[in-house]
Amino acid sequence: MVPRAGGPEDPGRTGDEAVEPNLFKYIWRHSRPEQLAILAIVVVSQVFYFLSLDLPKTIVNEAIQGEAFQAEGGQSLAFEPAGEDLGPGKPTAPFLRIVVTAPDFMKGVVGDGPIMIFEGIPLTQIPYLVALSLLFFLLVVINGLFKLQINTQKGRMGERMLRRLRFELFDRVLRFPQLQFRKVKQAEIATMIKDEVEPLGGFIGDAFVQPAFLGGQALTALLFIVTQSVWLGAITVAILGLQGFIIPKLRVKVLQLGKQRQLTARQLAGRIAECVDGSADIHVHDTSNYERAEIAARLARIFDIRFELYQRKFAIKFLNNMLAQLTPFFFYLVGGYLAITGRMDIGGLVAVIAAYKDLPGPVKELIDWDQQRQDVQIKYEQVIDQFQPEGMLPPEMQPIDAPDGKLEGPLVLANVTLADEGGARLIENLAARLAPGEQVAVLGGPGSGREAVALVLARLLEPVAGHIAIGPHNLFELPESVTGRRISYAGADPYLFPTSVRENLIYGLKHRPVKPPLYEGDALRLHEAALREARRSGNPEFDIAADWIDYESAGAADGQALEARLVELLQTVELDEDVYQFGLRGAIDPEMRPELAKAVVEARADLSRRLADPAFAALVEPFDPERYNKNLSVSENLLFGTSRDPALSPENIMDNAEVQRAVERVGLADDILDMGRQIAETMVELFADLPPGHPFFEQFSFIGAEDLPEFRALLAQIGKSGFGALNAAQRAKLMKLAFPYIEARHRLGLIDEAMEQRLCEARKRFAGELTESLRARIEFYDRERYSAAASLQDNILFGRLVYGQAQAAAKVGRLVAEVLDQHHMRPAVLAVGLDFQVGIAGKRLTAAQRQKIGLGRALVKNPQLLVLNEAINLLDNQAQLRLVDRVREASKGRGLLWVLHRADLARKFDRVLVLKDGRLAEEGPPAELERRGSAFAELANAV
Amino acid sequence: MSINQEVELLRRIPLFAKIDPAKLRLLAFASERISYQAGDELFHQGDPADAAYIIMDGNVDVTVDIPSGRLTVAKLGRDEIVGDIGIICDVPRTATVTADDPTVVLRITKELFFQMINDFPAMGVEIMRVLAQRLEHTNAALRSCRQKLDAAGLH
């Protein structure tokens, strides 16, 4: 039984199709409790902020000027010092006395006078000052902590919202209709999710807190002014009103420009990505200047937009400032007039002007906030606009808690009509039936619409009319958790992820976490915290560290069985030999796979015995610590080891000061120097007549054309005064020539028997002259040890192929394969080969290899219906014939629908559907159709 | 065998006899020396032609595929050049060349071959002369063949 689409409601994804168009509503919906909590903290913090503003006055007036110590003390709101004479000479003031004056309506109950809550601690002047100052310091710390807390809360909330928004957008990308991907550029989508929503995160924290806070401040100041003078209050309100009216009007244009800025920047990102993707064509067709012009034109447009934006922004700022300064102008004029005519007292005027000082700050920030609000609202709208294409999959089609089910019954296509995104008809009124387990080929010439049939069955295309059913279910109403597991599809150009061959093969098994990882102790706590955080941001609670592989549908009990299944699959798609070669060329970490490393060393001993056979003896020169190896470079002979570190390659190793010293210490400096001189002489002689830039330099010379004159001068200098006159840099330069020299390959005859002996002797002492840390980076040749720096093949060979022996690689390769088979190591080598990294989009593989992996990926989950769309058309003819048989065999008893480009392959199928101009021309067993004049015969004979 | 010895060997070959030894050194240095065991193929009929081979030691068989099997058309030995037609005319290999006994050759890639002719026109003239001689030799063989056929009354 297949459950209908629709799993339990999933918190990470909005059920309704449209994204909330209003950013504020979106923020409020998802962060209400957090926003309220921060507002509460802000309110509480204001009390302490006010206290810290008030306290300095008390310190100055009462502690320093000593008002508190006179008989009639000054007044302070919270700290009520009143001079008290506690003894002869030294007056004291009460510290921290708290007095509350009851409000009028309470006076009947508690009496008229102030109520003393805390008497306070009597202190003399200096201790009083110290106490007040410490209190001030304490308030500073408290205020700072409040600020820290508020900012942290705001930041966390903003980041959570950003995470939620990004996830939601990505979630929508996964549900885009397939045709949408032909319209959108991936770089633009990536820019939107990555960059364009980023400023939203910063704003979200301030979305509600900032206006509440600033508005409160501004309102208080305004209230104060109004209480002092209604006239002045009216002026203030009027000018603020003017500001509030004019500025947003002016901003309309700015906002439009902001919109344009965002769009043009996004398109620029898209265009740059296009140029990167199309770089080959740009070079081939010499269109780089066209592209330069194109991008320059875009940059010019962006410049214009940005500059105009800039100008307008500052014009608005100017106007804003003017209006803000207009108010004091009126205060002086009107307030002054009122004061002179005696309708207002001077103290009031001064207080109003003082209060007004506190007004422009918050008002300006409020205006800024408003600008930012509109900015992010636009950004938000522009982004979400791109993420709600028509025909998006409803979330229920990709349920999180996935229902699973078998697909039973025949596949029935009833009057199916298919069209491309332009509306052109690809298939008209197709009616067909595929019995369970039937294997059918679909044929048709170009324009017959054959590919569309495969696409619609893989649900990559939706029919414009008609109905497709599997058993009782409408194919397009089944959730992906059913179709993605029971139906497989492979096209001609499968996408490979930039991971290993293995990961690409099993990609189609990762539907949901099958086995959660085991967490204990701290790891468990961290994991639970991560889960809580994910919930708060509306992200799913999946664990990427879990085991996601659906072993069951691969027909494997565990990882080991799956490995065997993969090997079997490699044989089915004829990729086993390629993967075996990847394995031989691959390297392993002997500490991670000690058994394989041990087996390799054993196979090495066996191979070494087989290589003694005269038929092979001339093909490989084994690594022998007692003998100079003519097929290794001088530096490899000296080190008698290799390194994976490119800094220690034969070309670069002489740059290492430590190696230079070691060469001197083992007494080889003169020999190497002389070798370098001979190479330099030969190169100067051979290449002297060639013009710089001649291809020979690149291909054969030890010395680049530009360095040739320098070496010529160097040789002349040696000729005159010997090696003694050379400086360190010149010596290093000459010695560097000798290190990559391989006697068997370069054949300059530089290394005679005596030299071989000297180099062998030096080799024994050389490693001892290197420091521990350098030695650790080198894998020394050791017959008994596996070398992590070399490939499996080189490890087994433990020697170098001799240069210039015809077909040595092939002959030795066959021998190595034989030995590996005898040691039963083939599966282990294949396992290493499966780790081969395929590169970006599988570019390290051939197109045929990519198709084979795509086919393997489709087969591994044992689908009930396998849909193949010209999936192996890049393989050679014979391989295609073999693979059709193998795939038919591998999917025996299950449905197979194969859209073929070669009609002769269709002869192997039970039944053939032949399409012509989007209609079913004929169907039936191929043998029956193969008569003169049939559409099938027409196609088959055209091959 | 070092480059210097190879140069000595090259100088004995008519094609290179008149070329400056320094240039031959460059040719030798830029070429690959390959050893074949008896029975190894240098190249097979129909393969793309990518190099010419100078036989420095040993002997090779030149065979062509015919419906009834293989026909040996020539045996070449030391100092002779094989595979040059393929790279000059840019056609696939017209015959299969197999080492008859252990054989050492100098393999000159197509690019190197043309590069040398470009850089040293004297070599081009020399090759022209050798090829013309070979053509003359073929013509002579053809003439004698015709005469024999005429004599037998089969023509």
Residue-wise pLDDT for A242-285, tens only, equals 887 888 788 888 888 988 998 899 889 889 988 988 888 888 88
pLDDT for A747 = 87
On whether any CB of chain A is under 8 Å from the CB of B34, the answer is yes
Q: Is the pLDDT of residue A371 over 60?
A: yes
Does the interface ipTM go beyond 0.90? Answer: no
**Does the CB of A809 have a partner CB in chain B at under 8 Å?**
no
Domain range for A366: 175-386
Kindly calculate the radius of gyration of chain B based on its CA atoms and give it in whole angstroms: 17
If DSSP codes are grouped into helix, strand and coil, which group holds residue A865? Answer: strand
Angle at A193 between CA A188 and CA A199, to 5 degrees: 115
* Pairwise CB contact (< 8 Å): B3 & A749: yes
Does any domain span residue A169?
Answer: no
Tokens 């160097």 correspond to A714
Domain B3-116, CATH among 2.60.120.10, 2.40.10.480, 3.30.565.10, 3.40.640.10: 2.60.120.10
Q: Considering CB atoms only, which of A687, A690, A804 is closest to B32?
A: A804
Calculate what percentage of chain A has a pLDDT beyond 70.
93
Of A685, A748, A804, the CB nearest to B22: A685
pLDDT of residue A11: 42
Mean pLDDT of A771-788: 88
Q: Across the A/B interface, how many CB contacts are shorter than 8 Å?
A: 51
Residue A72 forms contact with B (CB below 8 Å): no
Residues of B in contact with A695 (CB under 8 A): 111, 115
Q: Which residues of B touch A804 (CB under 8 A)?
A: 32-35
For residue A177, is pLDDT > 90?
A: no
Angle at A904 between CA A899 and CA A906, to 5 degrees: 40
Tens-digit pLDDT profile for residues A683-721: 888 888 777 777 777 777 788 888 888 899 999 999 888
Residue A341 confidence class, pLDDT cut points 50, 70, 90 = confident
According to the model, what pLDDT value does residue A15 have?
A: 45
Q: Identify whether the C-beta of residue B39 lies closer than 8 Å to the C-beta of residue B47.
A: no
Q: What is the pLDDT of residue A99?
A: 72
The pLDDT of residue A850 is above 90: yes
Distance CA B11, CA B24 (A): 8
Residues A441 and A335 in one domain: no
pLDDT at A307: 94
Within 8 A of B115 by CB-CB distance, chain A residues are 695-696
- Give the total number of structural domains in chain A: 4
* Min Cα separation B152/chain A (Å): 46
Is B37 in contact with A806 (Cβ distance < 8 A)? Answer: yes
Shared-domain flag, residues A253 and A206: yes
Q: Answer for the pair A578, A585: CB distance below 8 angstroms, yes or no.
A: no
In a domain, A790, yes or no: no
3-state secondary structure of A547: strand
Q: Rounded CA gap, A358 and A129, in Å? A: 29
Q: Which residue of A has its CA nearest to B32?
A: A804
Do residues A739 and A636 lie in contact, with contact meaning Cβ atoms separated by under 8 Å? Answer: no
pLDDT for B69-82, tens place per residue?
A: 888 888 999 888 88
Distances (CA, A) of A389 to A26, A385, A424, A642: 19, 8, 20, 56
Indicate whether A560 belongs to any domain.
no
Kindly list the distances between the CA atom of residue A223 and the CA atoms of A347, A367, A397, A635, in Å, as whole numbers in the listed order. 17, 19, 57, 87
CA distance, residue A708 to nearest chain B CA (Å): 16
**Residue B115 near chain A (CB below 8 Å):** yes
| Residue B34 to residue A804, Cβ atoms within 8 A | yes
Mean pLDDT of chain A: 85
Strands (DSSP E) found in chain B: 32-36, 41-43, 51-57, 60-66, 69-76, 81-82, 96-99, 103-109
Minimum CA–CA partner of B25 in chain A: A686
From chain B, pick out residues whose CB is under 8 angstroms from the CB of A697: none
The string over A798-833, giving b where at least 16 C-beta atoms fall within 10 Å of a residue's C-beta and e elsewhere, is: bbbbbbbbbebeebbbebbbebbeebebeebbbbbb
Q: Looking at A87-101, A237-251, A857-871, B105-119, which range is the least confident one?
A: A87-101
With a CB cutoff of 8 Å and minimum separation 6, the contacts of A903 are A443, A936, A939, A940, A942, A943
% residues pLDDT > 70 (chain B): 98
Q: For residue A777, with 0-12 CB atoms within 10 Å meaning exposed, 13-18 middle and 19 or more buried, which class applies? A: middle
Identify the band that residue A105 occupies on the pLDDT scale cut at 50, 70 and 90.
low
Q: How far apart are CA A562 and CA A525, in angstroms?
A: 32
The answer, yes or no, to whether residue A337 has pLDDT greater than 80, is: yes
- What is residue A7's predicted lDDT score, i.e. its pLDDT? 36
Distance of CA A931 to the CA centre of its chain: 57
Tens of pLDDT along A155-172?
899 899 999 999 999 999
Q: How many residues does chain B have?
A: 155
Q: Which of A246-250, A298-302, B45-49 is the least confident region?
A: A246-250
Rounded-to-integer distance, Cα A743 and Cα A747, Å? 5
Q: How many helices (H) and strands (E) does chain B have?
A: 6, 8
Q: Which positions ≥6 away from A148 have C-beta within 8 Å?
A: none
- Among the partner-chain residues A696, A748, A805, the one whose CB lies closest to the CB of B35 is A805
Judged by average pLDDT, the poorest of A405-409, A925-929, B111-115 is: A405-409
- Give A680 to chain B, closest Cα distance, Å: 14
Q: What percent of chain A has pLDDT over 90?
A: 31
pLDDT of residue B119: 76
pLDDT surpasses 50 at A76: no
Q: What are phi and psi of A839, to 5 degrees?
A: 85, 175
Encoded tokens for A257: 């420009």
* CATH classification of the domain holding A278: 1.20.1560.10
Sequence letter at residue A694: H
For the segment A2-27, the average pLDDT, to the nearest whole number, is 59
Residue A100 included in any domain: yes
Q: Provide the 8-state DSSP code for A837.
A: B
In a domain, A704, yes or no: yes
Residue of B29, B40, B115 lying closest to A686 (CB–CB):
B29
Round to whole Å and give the CA distance between A377 and A794. 62
Q: What angle do CA A219, A224, A227 make, to 5 degrees?
A: 125
Cβ of A699 under 8 Å from any chain B Cβ?
yes
CA–centroid distance for B96 within its chain: 12
Helices and strands, number each (H, E), in chain A: 38, 21
Q: Is the pLDDT of residue A106 over 80?
A: no
* Facing B33 at nearest CB: one of A695, A699, A747: A747
Residue A833 domain-assigned (yes or no) = no
Same domain, A331 and A438: no
Whether A118 maps to a domain, the answer reads yes
Query: What pLDDT shows up at residue A819?
Result: 92
- A492 and A357, same structural domain? no
Co-location of A236 and A381 in the same domain:
yes
Higher pLDDT, A390 or A457: A457
How far off is chain A from B146, nearest CA to CA, in Å? 41
With bands split at pLDDT 50, 70 and 90, how would you rate the model's confidence at A856?
very high
Residue B14 pLDDT greater than 80, yes or no: no
A615 touches chain B (CB under 8 A): yes
Is residue A447 within 8 angstroms of chain B, CB to CB?
no
Residue A12 has pLDDT above 70, yes or no: no
Across the interface, do A747 and B42 touch by the CB < 8 Å criterion?
A: no
pLDDT above 50 for A66: yes
